[in-house]
Amino acid sequence: MKKFITLLAVLGVTAVSCTKETTLQPAGQQTLHSKFIGGTDGETVPGTLLVKLDENAAEALRKGGFPGLSSDILNGFKATSFTPAIPVQPKNAEVARKYGLHQWFMVGFDPQTSPVAAAEILAKSARVNSIQLNRFVQPTTAEKAFEADLMLTRATGGPSEVAFDDPHAVHQWNLHNDGSISDKAVAGADVGVKEAWRLTGGDPSVVVAIFDCAVDYRHEDLADAVWRNEAEISGQSDVDDDGNGFIDDKYGFNFVNCFAINADYINSSLNGEKPAAIKGSALNSIAGSGHGTHVAGIIGATNNNGKGVSSIAGGTGNGDGVRLMTCQIFQGSMYGSDAQNAAAFIYAADNGACIAQCSYGNSNIITNDDLYINGGEMDGTKISSSTLENAALRYFLDPANSNHESMEGNMAIFAAGNHKNPYSIYPGALSYVISVTAFGWDFLPGGYTNYGPGCKISAPGGEWSGVRDDYAGMILSTGVSGAAQGSPGVETERGESKNYVYMQGTSMACPHVSGVLALGLSYAKKLGKKFTREQMQSMLLTSVTDIDQFNKGGSRSFYDVSSGNNISIDMNRYIGKMGTGAVDAWKFLMAIEGTPTFLAEAGQTAKIDLSRYCSPSQTYTISVDDAARTALGLETDPVIKDGFLEIRCTKIGSGKMTLSASVGKDNEIENGIGGMSYTREISIASRPSATSNGGWL
């Protein structure tokens, strides 16, 4: 009984048992409303609440310890546990304290008890600063999925030129769209990566954490791309070989149910003892339609290995692709909670990830920044505290936790959502992360994509309506045979599945941006450059192709997966609301390099004003290497007249050229006064225009 009294003294909680009421009692309403954050909607984990204590109470709990935390300690409250919300303490304690992570605890109680009723009692304590429901995180599932069996062999269309020897690359319009997929397709409606690969294919120092279902680390096209914790791989089973607090995290960690598995460990962390490491369930890539494996393949499936598909940052076949870390927060119908998701962000930050790839969100629950960050207002009372997930996200983003030499801080990329809503879901809508909308093979918005406030940029997400083979308009990537709905997997001579899947959705658009960012960090490292997170974000958001020019308004028919019917959508609603434009890998690398990029309309003679970069009074010669000449389809040499570059590109593509001149030389005097030669490198991006694309209007 002494332990019970001590803990209640710290908390100042009256020993009153909870009931199953779901509404607040008038006496407790105002107190709870002043402390409740993160909103009250959404499905919650039964029998748990997240509580943020004041500094003194949190310190007392952590330093003094309360051995044997169990139901008898909070008997009057009928609580079964009172434990740290983050099971493994963050590596950077100073930054963790900065965001108040050390003050968060999880209260366990009878699952039949209403969490709101429990919160009402805890809110009476002056030691409790904030209370948050421990909600389940919602995945942004693929809007549609097909397993790519004979579809790959019978599909029509596809580019004739591919960069690597990956056999299915010809079906990846999202990487190189030559317009052949449909008579309505727009050549160049892709991620703009084909020419970017001439500069870099990726770098193993870039680690992308996949917040999703598990990545299949045994997949033939991913086995060489997954992040590897070598100490755990070569170590003993059921042992924390690398001392990071997690057991057997060989390729990442499964956070689903990890708190329940490790209840004894979590309780021991309040006993003044050095806690043992925690263990999660085995990574499960099958549950959840192989969604995480598909997402990972878009970013970093191994390129040029003669297998499967190509990816944005999967290297050039020399072990030089980025690495993919699993932070499993979904497992089939089991979803991770806010607390588990927070732990995943801290794991990613503490184990080397510099990009968080997050195809999930709180769908239709939170509709403004204040509600997500602070909880907004309740009955006119302003809430003043950050949610646990947001605190962990800020920990991941903090410059003090930088995990790549080319960027101060880390970045998080989220899907905007597949609900057709005029706003992004959260957390993606936050001002300090990127939310990605989706377009199809014609640069037009996917019929499923969210749009509007909170949306930052757009990327290929697929659109199965309107192409000769419906699935061919979706995004082809790595998958898990038998996990996605549709046909059997690709068959080999032995009848084994090769596991490649077509999916579409903002879940697919999101990893395109993560992949381009990963490619940019790889190139920045190659150049020896370093940027702040804000600078990198700005370059990314301005390295785009305008997609509004292709949207002529009117209505368009889409197949609606949720209803199974064709629906008509007014296309005007998307104009100016899809973000800054379509992400373009080439332009992004040029921004990192510091080389100005000029746009030219394919098939037309462009006159480009160079006066900002070159004096019109000088005479220039132009050098174009063979790769750029081929990429741009230059049939005649570009010339400079009166400060304008005249160039005619016959192909969609990108390339660089060098302008050379000299100053201070008297050309009329042989061996006379010398001069100085100088050069200026520029980039040309040949892109389609809405006036000549032949696409849907």
In tens, the pLDDT along 678-692 reads 889 999 999 997 443
- In a 13 Å sphere around the CA of 67, the CA atoms on its Cβ side amount to 3
Q: Which residue has the tokens 């800054």?
A: 580
Q: Which two tokens stand for residue 234?
A: 């070569």
- CA–CA gap between residue 126 and residue 122 (Å, rounded): 9
pLDDT tens-digit series, residues 605-647: 999 998 887 777 778 889 999 999 999 999 999 999 888 999 9
DSSP assignment of 475-531 = EEEE--TTTSSSSPPPB-TTS-B--EEEEESHHHHHHHHHHHHHHHHHHHHHHT--E
For CATH 3.40.50.200, the residue range(s) in the chain are 144-586
Task: Judge whether 66 and 270 are in contact, CB under 8 Å.
Answer: yes
User: Is residue 293 within 8 Å of 479, Cβ to Cβ?
Assistant: yes
Q: Which tokens in the block code for residue 496?
A: 């084994």
Quickly state the pLDDT bin for 135 (edges 50, 70, 90). Answer: confident
- At 6 the pLDDT is 35
What Cα–Cα distance (Å) separates residue 696 from each residue in 184, 186, 365, 445, 570?
Answer: 5, 9, 35, 12, 14
Q: How many Cα neighbours within 13 Å face the side chain of 517?
A: 35
Q: Which two tokens stand for residue 299?
A: 């970013």
| 128 within 8 A of 35, measured Cβ to Cβ | yes
Type and span of the H or E element at 652: none
Contact criterion met (CB below 8 Å) for 83 and 105: yes
Question: Contact 486/464 with Cβ under 8 angstroms?
Answer: no
User: What's the CA gap between 631 and 652, in Å, rounded?
Assistant: 7
Closest alpha carbon to 411 in 682, 226, 259, 211? 211
Residue 326 has pLDDT above 80, yes or no: yes
- Mean per-residue pLDDT, 473-491: 65
Indicate where the chain has its CATH 2.60.40.10 domain(s): 596-687
* Model pLDDT for residues 225-280, shown as the tens digit of each residue: 999 999 999 999 999 999 999 999 999 999 997 765 555 555 555 554 555 688 88
Task: Provide the pLDDT for residue 666.
Answer: 61
Residues 6+ apart with CB under 8 A from 672: 666
Average pLDDT over every residue of 464-480: 83
173-217 pLDDT tens trace: 999 999 998 888 999 999 999 999 999 999 999 999 999 999 999
- Confidence band of 381 (pLDDT split at 50, 70, 90): very low
- Calculate mean pLDDT across residues 297-307: 97
Nearest-angstrom CA–CA distance, 114 and 121? 11
Residue-level pLDDT at 496: 40
CATH number for domain 144-586, candidates 3.40.50.200, 3.40.50.620, 3.40.50.150, 3.30.360.10? 3.40.50.200
Among candidate residues 420, 503, 86, 402, the one with its CA nearest the CA of residue 275: 86
pLDDT for the residue 337: 87
Residue 554 gets the label, from left (phi > 0), alpha (psi -120 to 50) or beta, of left
CA-wise closest residue to 298 among 471, 519, 467: 519
**Three-state secondary structure of 395-441:** HHHCHHHCCECCEECCEEEEECCCCCCCCCCECCCCCCCEEEEEECC
pLDDT above 60 for 70 = no
Residue 152 clears pLDDT 70, i.e. is over it: no
Residue pair 475/419 in contact (Cβ under 8 Å)? The answer is: no
Do 249 and 272 contact (CB within 8 A), yes or no? Answer: no
The pLDDT mean for the chain works out to 83
pLDDT tens digits for range 83-125? 889 988 899 999 999 999 999 999 888 888 888 888 888 887 8
Quick one: pLDDT at residue 18? 34
The residue written with tokens 């607040």 in the block is: 24
Average pLDDT of span 452-478: 89
Mean pLDDT of 318-335: 92
Rounded to 5 degrees, what are φ and ψ at 678?
A: -145, 160
Average pLDDT over residues 562-574: 87
Q: Which CATH class is domain 596-687?
A: mainly beta
The phi and psi torsions of 121 (rounded to 5 degrees) equal -70, -45
Please state the φ and ψ torsions of residue 626, each to the nearest 5 degrees: -65, -40
**Residue pair 124/13 in contact by the 8 Å Cβ criterion:** yes
Whole-model pTM over 0.75: yes
